[in-house]
A = this chain, B = another copy of it.
Amino acid sequence: MKFIHTADWHLGKLVHGIYMTEEQRVVLEQFVQLVEEEKPDAVIIAGDLYDRSIPPTDAVDLLNDILFKINVELNTPIIAISGNHDSAERLSFGTSWYKHSHFYLKGKLTDDFSPIMLNDVHFHLVPYAEPGLVRQILQDESIHSHQDAMKSVIGKIESQMDQDSPNIFVGHAFVLGGKETESERTLSVGGSGCVTSDLFGPFNYAALGHLHSPDALRHDSVRYSGSLLKYSFSEAKQRKSVSIIHIDSKGDINIEERLLSPARDMREIEGRLEELLDPSFYQKQKIDDYLKVTLHDEGALIDPINKLRQIYPNVLHLERKIDVMDMKQKQVFQSIRSEKKSELELFESFYHEMTTLDFSEDKREIMESVISVVKGEEERK
């Protein structure tokens, strides 16, 4: 049997104020093409189909279109679960009807741990669930952490599992040792959201979602497929791919990766402003990529972001490089802070420091009113 493992589509994602939906459509059309060529026996989507519980309507349209093409037009079974970004309830609407055409979408964890069987391979679907919910479903008061919860759920699955068939786990979790980036949402505030990889021992393969890099975890049979696209600059150097998993009747696994090519890459460039605006530099660049720009210039620059955007329309983030030379400036700034100036004076110094422009009267008025509103709100708290 052959199946494709993907996860973390995050449809409807906003990156630095830009909706990624059209980028996502481009890559998903490639994915549909891959399914058409590879003719897998199933497509597995290991959670975070949407980026949030109430996605924008064009993301809803996109997911519907793509799943329809894969499942109905290409007649390919789909196995999908919800992740921590999805609304389990909203995603669950209609799932009973989808089964007709071998589209198995498990939005909510329930006490039914029976697997989906396709070509004699057993798929065990475990949508993302908070430990509190697992405690309630399993009626086990000893469950407090994600580790407790996953251990108990897998215990239940193992107790009724057919050991003679290949068994695949499909889940959404943060496995200990996995490398995080900035675009995954922490699973647990003030406590460990981790689970250990040894929990997945009973399975021939664990198809995971949550971490965005296919290299997040070094393990033969417990794997993240990685996300569809780069969703933060901390992922700029990651490759984005889906995994094609071959499994034989003995349960032995073979893994291939297929790269995805977005219309626009997400990457970082750096240098002095003048260099970056020089045709001899930018003519060698794919200028419409999503860029984080780090400027090496010292001193003031007038409106660098707009100058950059005239060449590179999709600059999403601009930084100035602070090296040892700048520490003096930083110290000046810190000494200003320690002088106990008023907020307005502090802002004026900051403004001048950053722009070298005059802090004009109209700007002063705007800041005064902003400061008074914020202060008023703080007092009311």
What is A's interface to B at a CB cutoff of 8 Å?
Answer: 54, 57-58, 60-61, 63-64, 68, 71-72, 87, 89-90, 92-94, 96-98, 100-101, 103, 369, 373, 376, 380
Contact = CB atoms under 8 A, between A and B. Distances in A.
Contacts of A87: 57
26 contacts: A54-B54, A57-B87, A57-B90, A58-B89, A60-B90, A60-B92, A60-B93, A63-B93, A64-B92, A64-B93, A64-B96, A68-B96, A68-B97, A72-B97, A93-B93, A94-B94, A97-B97, A97-B98, A97-B100, A97-B101, A97-B103, A100-B100, A100-B101, A369-B380, A373-B376, A373-B380
A96 B164 CA distance: 37
How many copies make up the complex? 2
Contacts of A103: 97
A179 to B, nearest CB: 33
A182 B376 CA distance: 39
Contact of A376 (B63, B96, B98, B376): B376
Contacts of A64: 92-94, 96
A57 B92 CA distance: 10
Contacts of A92: 60-61, 64
Nearest to A92: B64
Give the top 4 A-B pairs by smallest Cβ distance, nearest first. A57-B89, A94-B94, A100-B100, A64-B93
